[in-house]
A and B are shown apart, each in its own frame.
Chain A
Amino acid sequence: QVQLVQSGAEVKKPGSSVRVSCKASGGPFSSYALNWVRQAPGQGLEWMGAIIPIFGIANHAQKFKGRVNITADKSTTTAYMELSSLRSEDTAVYYCARDFVRVGGTSFPWFDPWGQGTPVTVSS
Protein backbone atom coordinates (compact mmCIF):
# COMPACT_ATOMS: atom_id res chain seq x y z
CA GLN A 1 0.00 0.00 0.00
CA VAL A 2 1.55 3.26 -1.13
CA GLN A 3 2.04 5.91 1.51
CA LEU A 4 2.82 9.55 0.81
CA VAL A 5 4.67 11.55 3.45
CA GLN A 6 5.05 15.29 2.99
CA SER A 7 7.53 17.78 4.38
CA GLY A 8 6.70 20.00 7.31
CA ALA A 9 4.97 23.32 7.72
CA GLU A 10 6.49 26.42 6.14
CA VAL A 11 6.26 30.15 6.85
CA LYS A 12 7.34 32.38 3.98
CA LYS A 13 7.56 36.05 3.14
CA PRO A 14 5.62 37.52 0.22
CA GLY A 15 7.66 37.33 -2.96
CA SER A 16 9.66 34.32 -1.88
CA SER A 17 9.36 30.68 -2.95
CA VAL A 18 8.43 27.48 -1.15
CA ARG A 19 9.26 23.89 -2.00
CA VAL A 20 7.15 21.05 -0.63
CA SER A 21 8.24 17.44 -0.90
CA CYS A 22 6.20 14.25 -1.07
CA LYS A 23 7.95 10.94 -0.50
CA ALA A 24 6.30 7.74 -1.68
CA SER A 25 6.91 4.37 -0.11
CA GLY A 26 5.39 0.91 -0.18
CA GLY A 27 4.49 0.73 -3.84
CA PRO A 28 5.22 1.83 -7.40
CA PHE A 29 6.17 5.45 -7.90
CA SER A 30 7.43 6.23 -11.36
CA SER A 31 4.56 5.08 -13.57
CA TYR A 32 1.63 6.90 -12.03
CA ALA A 33 0.75 10.57 -11.88
CA LEU A 34 1.49 12.44 -8.68
CA ASN A 35 -0.81 15.40 -8.23
CA TRP A 36 -0.68 18.55 -6.12
CA VAL A 37 -3.88 19.97 -4.63
CA ARG A 38 -4.17 22.93 -2.30
CA GLN A 39 -6.81 24.13 0.12
CA ALA A 40 -6.92 27.68 1.42
CA PRO A 41 -8.29 28.18 4.96
CA GLY A 42 -12.02 27.44 5.00
CA GLN A 43 -12.07 26.93 1.24
CA GLY A 44 -12.39 24.06 -1.21
CA LEU A 45 -9.89 21.92 -3.06
CA GLU A 46 -7.88 23.27 -5.98
CA TRP A 47 -5.82 21.11 -8.34
CA MET A 48 -2.48 22.70 -9.17
CA GLY A 49 -0.75 20.21 -11.40
CA ALA A 50 0.71 16.75 -11.77
CA ILE A 51 3.74 14.80 -12.95
CA ILE A 52 4.33 11.25 -14.10
CA PRO A 53 7.85 10.63 -12.78
CA ILE A 54 8.89 8.17 -15.48
CA PHE A 55 8.28 10.83 -18.12
CA GLY A 56 9.35 13.81 -16.06
CA ILE A 57 6.87 16.15 -17.74
CA ALA A 58 4.40 18.07 -15.64
CA ASN A 59 0.99 19.52 -16.38
CA HIS A 60 -0.18 22.60 -14.53
CA ALA A 61 -3.46 24.36 -14.04
CA GLN A 62 -3.51 27.51 -16.14
CA LYS A 63 -3.83 29.61 -12.98
CA PHE A 64 -0.39 28.51 -11.77
CA LYS A 65 1.57 28.42 -15.01
CA GLY A 66 4.77 30.38 -14.69
CA ARG A 67 4.72 30.17 -10.89
CA VAL A 68 4.69 26.46 -10.14
CA ASN A 69 7.37 23.89 -10.86
CA ILE A 70 6.58 20.24 -10.25
CA THR A 71 9.43 17.75 -10.38
CA ALA A 72 10.15 14.19 -9.32
CA ASP A 73 13.24 12.24 -8.33
CA LYS A 74 12.82 8.58 -9.24
CA SER A 75 15.88 7.56 -7.28
CA THR A 76 14.39 8.79 -4.00
CA THR A 77 10.71 8.29 -4.97
CA THR A 78 10.07 11.89 -4.01
CA ALA A 79 8.03 14.52 -5.82
CA TYR A 80 8.41 18.24 -5.31
CA MET A 81 6.19 21.25 -5.81
CA GLU A 82 7.83 24.65 -5.86
CA LEU A 83 5.65 27.76 -5.88
CA SER A 84 7.29 31.12 -6.50
CA SER A 85 6.34 34.77 -6.13
CA LEU A 86 4.31 33.91 -3.07
CA ARG A 87 1.47 36.16 -1.96
CA SER A 88 -0.88 36.03 0.99
CA GLU A 89 -3.50 34.25 -1.11
CA ASP A 90 -1.14 31.28 -1.39
CA THR A 91 -1.59 30.56 2.30
CA ALA A 92 -3.04 27.06 2.23
CA VAL A 93 -2.52 23.42 3.00
CA TYR A 94 -0.78 21.74 0.09
CA TYR A 95 -1.46 18.06 -0.55
CA CYS A 96 0.13 15.53 -2.83
CA ALA A 97 -2.05 12.69 -4.09
CA ARG A 98 -1.40 9.85 -6.47
CA ASP A 99 -3.68 8.77 -9.28
CA PHE A 100 -5.83 5.83 -8.26
CA VAL A 101 -4.39 2.50 -9.39
CA ARG A 102 -6.63 -0.51 -9.75
CA VAL A 103 -5.51 -4.08 -9.23
CA GLY A 104 -3.77 -4.94 -12.45
CA GLY A 105 -2.01 -1.61 -12.71
CA THR A 106 -4.43 0.59 -14.63
CA SER A 107 -4.50 4.11 -13.28
CA PHE A 108 -7.32 6.63 -13.28
CA PRO A 109 -7.42 10.35 -12.50
CA TRP A 110 -9.07 9.99 -9.11
CA PHE A 111 -6.84 10.68 -6.12
CA ASP A 112 -5.88 7.96 -3.70
CA PRO A 113 -3.76 7.91 -1.61
CA TRP A 114 -3.11 11.41 -0.29
CA GLY A 115 -0.28 12.84 1.72
CA GLN A 116 -0.98 14.32 5.13
CA GLY A 117 -0.79 17.90 3.88
CA THR A 118 1.78 20.67 4.34
CA PRO A 119 0.58 24.02 5.75
CA VAL A 120 2.20 26.98 4.04
CA THR A 121 1.72 30.42 5.54
CA VAL A 122 2.68 33.51 3.56
CA SER A 123 3.00 36.53 5.78
CA SER A 124 5.18 39.57 6.14
Chain B
Amino acid sequence: DIQMTQSPSSVSASVGDRVTITCRASQGISSWLAWYQQKPGKAPKLLIYAASSLQSGVPSRFSGSGSGTDFTLTISSLQPEDFATYYCQQANSFPLFGGGTKVEIK
Protein backbone atom coordinates (compact mmCIF):
# COMPACT_ATOMS: atom_id res chain seq x y z
CA ASP B 1 0.00 0.00 0.00
CA ILE B 2 1.07 3.54 -0.73
CA GLN B 3 2.03 5.65 2.27
CA MET B 4 1.97 9.44 2.26
CA THR B 5 4.35 11.32 4.54
CA GLN B 6 3.89 15.04 5.03
CA SER B 7 6.44 17.32 6.63
CA PRO B 8 6.70 19.27 8.76
CA SER B 9 3.73 18.41 10.95
CA SER B 10 3.60 22.03 12.00
CA VAL B 11 5.32 25.25 11.07
CA SER B 12 5.35 28.67 12.74
CA ALA B 13 5.56 31.56 10.32
CA SER B 14 4.87 35.27 10.05
CA VAL B 15 2.74 37.19 7.59
CA GLY B 16 4.76 37.67 4.43
CA ASP B 17 6.91 34.58 4.94
CA ARG B 18 7.44 31.95 2.28
CA VAL B 19 6.21 28.58 3.50
CA THR B 20 7.02 25.23 1.95
CA ILE B 21 5.30 21.94 2.82
CA THR B 22 6.43 18.62 1.42
CA CYS B 23 4.62 15.37 0.77
CA ARG B 24 6.39 12.13 -0.05
CA ALA B 25 4.76 9.03 -1.49
CA SER B 26 6.20 5.60 -0.71
CA GLN B 27 5.98 4.73 -4.38
CA GLY B 28 5.60 6.72 -7.58
CA ILE B 29 2.23 8.33 -8.17
CA SER B 30 3.07 10.39 -11.26
CA SER B 31 1.15 13.66 -10.79
CA TRP B 32 -1.82 12.15 -9.01
CA LEU B 33 -1.63 14.50 -6.05
CA ALA B 34 -3.84 17.21 -4.63
CA TRP B 35 -3.46 19.75 -1.82
CA TYR B 36 -6.22 20.95 0.49
CA GLN B 37 -6.55 23.70 3.08
CA GLN B 38 -8.69 23.16 6.15
CA LYS B 39 -9.68 25.74 8.74
CA PRO B 40 -11.10 24.76 12.15
CA GLY B 41 -14.68 23.55 11.98
CA LYS B 42 -14.76 23.70 8.19
CA ALA B 43 -14.58 21.19 5.37
CA PRO B 44 -11.32 20.97 3.44
CA LYS B 45 -10.90 23.18 0.39
CA LEU B 46 -9.18 22.02 -2.80
CA LEU B 47 -6.18 24.25 -3.60
CA ILE B 48 -4.03 22.34 -6.07
CA TYR B 49 -4.73 19.28 -8.21
CA ALA B 50 -2.65 17.19 -10.55
CA ALA B 51 0.35 18.26 -8.45
CA SER B 52 0.64 21.76 -9.90
CA SER B 53 -2.73 22.99 -11.25
CA LEU B 54 -4.29 25.83 -9.29
CA GLN B 55 -7.97 25.38 -8.53
CA SER B 56 -10.19 28.17 -9.77
CA GLY B 57 -10.48 31.02 -7.29
CA VAL B 58 -7.37 30.07 -5.31
CA PRO B 59 -4.85 32.92 -4.95
CA SER B 60 -1.73 32.69 -7.07
CA ARG B 61 0.52 32.81 -3.99
CA PHE B 62 -0.24 29.09 -3.70
CA SER B 63 1.71 26.79 -5.97
CA GLY B 64 2.43 23.10 -6.22
CA SER B 65 5.25 21.16 -7.78
CA GLY B 66 6.68 17.68 -8.05
CA SER B 67 5.97 14.33 -9.62
CA GLY B 68 6.70 10.72 -8.87
CA THR B 69 7.30 10.54 -5.13
CA ASP B 70 8.17 14.06 -3.97
CA PHE B 71 5.80 17.00 -3.96
CA THR B 72 5.78 20.52 -2.59
CA LEU B 73 3.15 23.09 -1.71
CA THR B 74 4.51 26.63 -1.51
CA ILE B 75 2.82 29.73 -0.16
CA SER B 76 4.91 32.55 -1.54
CA SER B 77 3.83 35.27 0.89
CA LEU B 78 1.78 34.09 3.84
CA GLN B 79 -1.39 36.04 4.49
CA PRO B 80 -3.46 36.11 7.71
CA GLU B 81 -6.18 33.97 6.11
CA ASP B 82 -3.64 31.25 5.25
CA PHE B 83 -3.17 30.07 8.83
CA ALA B 84 -4.75 26.64 8.59
CA THR B 85 -3.93 22.96 8.23
CA TYR B 86 -2.85 21.64 4.85
CA TYR B 87 -3.22 18.08 3.56
CA CYS B 88 -1.89 16.28 0.55
CA GLN B 89 -3.92 13.51 -1.08
CA GLN B 90 -2.71 10.88 -3.51
CA ALA B 91 -5.14 9.62 -6.11
CA ASN B 92 -3.04 7.06 -7.96
CA SER B 93 -4.91 4.30 -6.19
CA PHE B 94 -7.53 4.45 -3.47
CA PRO B 95 -7.42 7.99 -2.09
CA LEU B 96 -5.05 8.54 0.81
CA PHE B 97 -4.26 11.71 2.70
CA GLY B 98 -1.05 12.83 4.28
CA GLY B 99 -0.99 13.50 7.99
CA GLY B 100 -1.39 17.24 7.66
CA THR B 101 0.71 20.34 8.31
CA LYS B 102 -0.54 23.03 10.64
CA VAL B 103 0.61 26.52 9.71
CA GLU B 104 0.62 28.62 12.86
CA ILE B 105 1.27 32.26 13.62
CA LYS B 106 4.81 32.93 14.83
Query: Measuring CB to CB, which residues of chain A are less than 8 angstroms from any residue of chain B?
Result: 35, 37, 44-47, 50, 59, 61, 95, 97, 100, 108-112, 114-117
Bitwise, B46-75 to A at CB < 8 A (1) or not (0) is 100110000100000000000000000000
Return the 4 tightest CB-CB contacts between A and B, nearest first: A114-B43, A109-B91, A112-B46, A110-B34
Query: Does B89 belong to the interface (CB within 8 Å)?
Result: yes
Contacts A110-B34, A110-B49 known; A47 to B94 CB distance under 8 Å?
A: yes
Q: How close is B26's CB to chain A, nearest CB, in angstroms?
A: 16
Question: What are 26 A-to-B residue pairs whose CB atoms are below 8 Å?
Answer: A35-B95, A44-B97, A45-B36, A45-B38, A46-B97, A47-B95, A59-B94, A61-B94, A97-B43, A100-B46, A100-B49, A108-B50, A109-B95, A110-B34, A110-B46, A110-B50, A110-B89, A110-B91, A111-B36, A111-B44, A111-B95, A112-B46, A112-B55, A114-B43, A114-B44, A116-B43
Please indicate the chain B residues that have their CB under 8 angstroms from the CB of A97 in the complex: 43-44
Q: Which residue of A lies closest to B91 (CB)?
A: A109
Provide the bound-state CA to CA distance between A56 and B64, in Å.
34
B87–A111 touching, CB < 8 Å: no
Provide the bound-state CA to CA distance between A44 and B87, in Å.
8
Q: How close is A100's CB to chain B, nearest CB, in angstroms?
A: 6
Q: Which of B69-101 contact A (CB under 8 A)?
A: 87, 89, 91, 94-100
Contacts A110-B49, A117-B43 known; A44 to B98 CB distance under 8 Å?
A: yes
Q: Which residue of A lies closest to B93 (CB)?
A: A109
Provide the bound-state CA to CA distance between A112 and B95, in Å.
14
Q: Which residue of B lies closest to A49 (CB)?
A: B94
Provide the bound-state CA to CA distance between A119 and B42, in Å.
12
Q: Which residue of A lies closest to B85 (CB)?
A: A44
B94–A108 touching, CB < 8 Å: no
Q: Which residue of A lies closest to B87 (CB)?
A: A45
Please indicate the chain B residues that have their CB under 8 angstroms from the CB of A61 in the complex: 94
Q: Select A115's contact among B43, B94, B97, B99, beta carbons within 8 Å.
A: B43
Provide the bound-state CA to CA distance between A109 and B50, in Å.
10
Please indicate the chain A residues that have their CB under 8 angstroms from the CB of B94 in the complex: 47, 59, 61
